[in-house]
Structure 1
Amino acid sequence: MAINGFKNHPYIPNSVPEVQEEMLRELGLNSLEELHEEIPDELKLKENMNLPKAFKSEYELRRHVEELLSRNKTCKENLNFLGAGCWQHYVPAICDEINSRGEFLTAYGGEPYNDHGRFQALFEYQSLVAELVDMDIVNVPTMDWPQAAATSVRMASRITGRKEILVPRAMDREKFLIMKNYCGPDLILIEVDYDKETGQLDLVDLKNKISNKTAAVYFENPSFLGFIEENGQKISYIAHEMGAISVVGVDPSSLGVLAPPSEYGADIICGDLQPLGMHMNYGGGQSGFIATRDEEKYVMEFPSRLFGIAPTCVDGEYGFGDVAYDRTSFGHHREHGKEYVGTQSALWGITAGVYLATMGPKGMEELGQTIMQKSQYAIKRLSEIKGIKGSLFNSISFKEFVVDFNETGKTVKEINRLLMEKGIFGGKDLSKDFPEFGQSALYCVTEIHTKTDIDKLVTAVEQVINM
């Protein structure tokens, strides 16, 4: 198809030259390139992309992709002690069975006219997570925990009208940068130091940095470094005394043995759903949640969808639908949405609902107890190796813990390389993000690790540091 001698894309009406010119005039621009003038010139590609020739058949493409995938080193062939935000848990077969059904697999949200149980499934997920964290309201999932944390503090900023957010120094640096990017430039993230012996949030530093400009105090329990934050009630009290909101990030797999943050003053709770029935997938499988009390000031600040249950026009019949839809960016007045929200990870919300329904309260309790016992055993056994401190901090840990290798004379990078030769994924190297720890690594132990697995790790680490 061509107009006035110019070819335009058959599926994109605005590619018609006259339409493009009209749009550019309205924007006060002379060319499409001016839309991207803020991008530094050195970042722009100035030649054709070096793309390989197209495969002639689906079979050839499949073989090529399978060959690339075969180069991966996975947790099926290797013993894994790496966590740091994506953890290896057991996934019940029913989770994969349900989330692979066509009604759910290709439908992250759905609308009333084409819903086949998604609204109810997401309502049940919200109800189960709400019971787990002891809150009333839970959203349709965000993309991951960092987005959930960033959205939570932005909610707090809108509620309080303040612009400063206090966050722990001892948190995942990637999560910190995502929050900083998501909150900037109007919100300011201020780091609060930690106690060097325990890892706990430094309450003196917290009191020195909190002010009447503080919208929220964000902390995590368990922390990114694995230890359990023992001062949750005190932190929330300090926040509330200054009129700030207490926002707590939590690993839901810990809530079978640890009190939910709502019991020590949390106003907003967020976290990652990945431990609840999701496989570890490179670049996917993460999903965040946000929970609050059923108070209008919180409910109306959620940018994402909330599903509720309500009676229909038929006596005795109930239906599931959106709550306060206009506050979202895809409501009737998009410009009035609390934040822009795109495609989310509701499939993982349904998966988490299946997992929680399968486990039940007793199952979650047993999960937490098992993880606690196995991680403490790993700390004890690693501490028996000469030159190694099994836990850098003297606080109790859940699932993850910092192993100190400073006295071994080897770097974590070197140790991990040698462990990999033995078929073991070592812990996350913390030397870059936390240089004050020296050569230390964050190790992870979950319910999937057997005593034999942990003993194998200990033997391998002992051999590696003595090479």
Structure 2
Amino acid sequence: MTATPPPAHPYIPNSAPDVKRAMLDAVGAKSVEDFYADIPASLRLDRPLGLPAPLRSEAALVRHMDGLLAGGRSARDTLSFLGAGCYAHHVPAVVDEVVNRSEFLTAYAGEPYEDHGRFQAMWEYQSLMAELLEAEVVNVPVYDGFQAAGTALRMAGRVTGRRRVLAVSDTSPDKLSKVVDYVRPEHEVTLVPPRADGRADLDAVRAALAAGDVAAVWAEAPAYSGLVDEGLPELAGLAHGAGALYVVACNPASLGVLAPPSAYGADIACGDIQPLGVHMSFGGGNAGFLATQDDEKLVAEFPTRLFGLVPTAVEGEYGFGDVAFERTSFAVREEGREWVGTAAALHGIGAGVYLALMGPHGMRELGDTILARTAYAKRRLADVPGVEIPHADATHFADFPVRFTGSRTAEEVGAALLERGIFGGAVRSEREALYCVTELTTAADIDLLADTLKETVQ
């Protein structure tokens, strides 16, 4: 008796057995497992996922998903002090109005000769970001700030011909993991731990550079802890003196009050535009930027699309098109320096609208407000028995560390806050968490957190 082949999955068109076999034959693979050969066995799940049977009607699927989502709690509906890379900022209504227009509503960046409106929108975004960053070249967004950092370091490696990268700031473990994975096997990331006060250890960086094999010094502004390191300009001199490039990942929302990386010697700036008019979305809503000066060596290594303003055959008229398209994987496919996919252009358009609305004065007010409320939050929480603020004398932007010295751990404090309708900070260790405030966090919100912590930390 002939065995019945497994049925096609209703949500995965290419799961039909004949189609799957044809696709595997076309690429010369015996099975789907061949694609995962380089993933260590220790990281693989050696059992089925245990998923429920697929719901075969749209109505049943919608009902099921609504039930799952109903069990969640949104930061819009709950007082939140979560940050650590994804931030609750005000998104003006006009941003949503523009990005939801049908001619823009896709993450794709468009194609030549048919999509000049989208090209112009992306060019406007790049121009506004260049002004904010005091740079001359900014890319069409990549997937997120993590990828942008990895790409910046790979660019540095291609420019210098060197292999090693120094990570010198307090960095998110998730980001560090992504970057280490993204730059391998061409590059090796060496950690140079910050000093006890959270600032980069300049002596240790100098010693690590002595070998002469470093492609880039990678710093964060501010650091994962929110700390603003006054030693960032000195890192530029150390990097350049050793023939390395200086790569700085920054929070663009801080650039109304903090100097952009280019102002203190960074060769490549990178980061995530989520704070610029992009909603949080289950921890996402991200898109990464890269920025340099108009240096041919650097521009040639951008693997991403760049849009430029060009004259047309009609005098006085201009168009918008790809700059040096031959650099990209879109043009040369597998021969490209990196594969960057269709990027996250829609978020770039949203960020462009946001920056156009805010202008220089608006960005300054945003930064001033966040700095002031961060300082206020640190002072109020430091007065709570059982709470300490590490590096309290340093300047922090949005994020800041909180250490709990009472009987409860950071995770237990967070659970107790949640019972009272407050999202606490992101837990970093048994006793420490990162708390965050933005322009949406009022003084009354901070006072409520402080008063609630007095009841929960002991």
Q: When the two structures are superposed, what TM-score results if normalisation uses the length of structure 1?
A: 0.90
| C-alpha displacement of 1:103 | 0.6
The range that moved more, 98-107 or 387-396, is 387-396
Corresponding residue for residue 321 of structure 2: 321
Secondary structure at the residue paired with 1:408?
coil
Counterpart among 435, 443, 447 of residue 439 in structure 2: 447
Corresponding residue for residue 395 of structure 1: 394
Q: Is the 8 A contact 1:217 1:244 kept in 2?
A: yes
The answer on 1:459 being equivalent to 2:451 is yes
| Structure 2: distance between partners of 1:279 and 1:20 | 38
Say what the alpha-carbon RMSD is for the aligned residues: 2.6
Q: Is the 8 A contact 1:327 1:336 kept in 2?
A: no
| C-alpha displacement of 1:40 | 6.5
Corresponding residue for residue 281 of structure 1: 281
Corresponding residue for residue 179 of structure 2: 179
| Structure 1: distance between partners of 2:428 and 2:356 | 36
Secondary structure at the residue paired with 1:66?
helix
Going from structure 1 to structure 2, the CA distance change for 1:46 and 1:294 (only over 3 Å counts) comes to same
| C-alpha displacement of 1:284 | 2.9
Q: Which amino acid aligns with 2:222?
A: P
Secondary structure at the residue paired with 2:269?
strand
Q: Which amino acid aligns with 2:145?
A: W
| Structure 1: distance between partners of 2:416 and 2:25 | 62
Q: Is the 8 A contact 1:199 1:393 kept in 2?
A: no
Corresponding residue for residue 53 of structure 2: 52
Q: Is the 8 A contact 2:169 2:223 kept in 1?
A: no
The answer on 1:410 being equivalent to 2:402 is no
The range that moved more, 151-160 or 389-398, is 389-398
Secondary structure at the residue paired with 2:113?
helix
Corresponding residue for residue 3 of structure 2: none
| Structure 2: distance between partners of 1:172 and 1:359 | 29
| C-alpha displacement of 1:313 | 1.2
Q: Is the 8 A contact 1:88 1:446 kept in 2?
A: yes
Q: Which amino acid aligns with 1:128?
A: L
| Structure 2: distance between partners of 1:17 and 1:458 | 57
Corresponding residue for residue 146 of structure 2: 146
The range that moved more, 112-121 or 360-369, is 112-121
Aligned residue pairs: how many? 448
Going from structure 1 to structure 2, the CA distance change for 1:173 and 1:239 (only over 3 Å counts) comes to same
Corresponding residue for residue 268 of structure 1: 268
Secondary structure at the residue paired with 2:248?
strand
Q: Is the 8 A contact 1:77 1:423 kept in 2?
A: no
Corresponding residue for residue 343 of structure 1: 342
| Structure 1: distance between partners of 2:56 and 2:441 | 42
Going from structure 1 to structure 2, the CA distance change for 1:416 and 1:145 (only over 3 Å counts) comes to same
The answer on 1:129 being equivalent to 2:120 is no
Q: Is the 8 A contact 1:274 1:285 kept in 2?
A: yes
Q: Is the 8 A contact 1:199 1:395 kept in 2?
A: no
Q: Which amino acid aligns with 1:326?
A: E
What residue ranges of structure 2 are gaps of 5+ in the alignment? 1-6
Q: When the two structures are superposed, what TM-score results if normalisation uses the length of structure 2?
A: 0.92
The answer on 1:386 being equivalent to 2:378 is no
| C-alpha displacement of 1:93 | 0.6
| Structure 2: distance between partners of 1:325 and 1:189 | 30
| Structure 2: distance between partners of 1:325 and 1:452 | 51
Q: Is the 8 A contact 2:255 2:367 kept in 1?
A: yes
Corresponding residue for residue 167 of structure 2: 167
Q: Which amino acid aligns with 2:442?
A: T
Going from structure 1 to structure 2, the CA distance change for 1:460 and 1:329 (only over 3 Å counts) comes to same
| C-alpha displacement of 1:11 | 8.2
| C-alpha displacement of 1:47 | 6.5
Secondary structure at the residue paired with 2:445?
helix
Q: Is the 8 A contact 1:14 1:20 kept in 2?
A: no
1:62-461 equivalence runs, <5 A: 62-106=62-106, 108-115=108-115, 117-168=117-168, 170-196=170-196, 198-210=197-209, 211-282=211-282, 284-331=284-331, 333-405=332-404, 407-431=405-429, 439-461=431-453
| C-alpha displacement of 1:372 | 0.6
| Structure 2: distance between partners of 1:93 and 1:16 | 45
Secondary structure at the residue paired with 2:76?
coil
Secondary structure at the residue paired with 2:104?
helix
The range that moved more, 145-154 or 59-68, is 59-68
| Structure 1: distance between partners of 2:19 and 2:59 | 37
Q: Is the 8 A contact 2:14 2:20 kept in 1?
A: no
| Structure 1: distance between partners of 2:217 and 2:308 | 29
Q: Which amino acid aligns with 2:372?
A: Q
What residue ranges of structure 1 are gaps of 5+ in the alignment? 1-6, 432-437
Q: Is the 8 A contact 2:252 2:275 kept in 1?
A: yes
Q: Is the 8 A contact 1:156 1:245 kept in 2?
A: yes
Q: Which amino acid aligns with 1:265?
A: G
Q: Deviations over 1:272-309 (max 9, x none)?
A: 10000011101530111000000110111000000001
Secondary structure at the residue paired with 1:103?
coil
Q: Which amino acid aligns with 1:398?
A: F
Q: Is the 8 A contact 1:163 1:215 kept in 2?
A: yes
| C-alpha displacement of 1:261 | 1.1
Percent identity over the alignment is 46
Q: Deviations over 1:421-464 (max 9, x none)?
A: 01111111111xxxxxx511111011001111010000000111
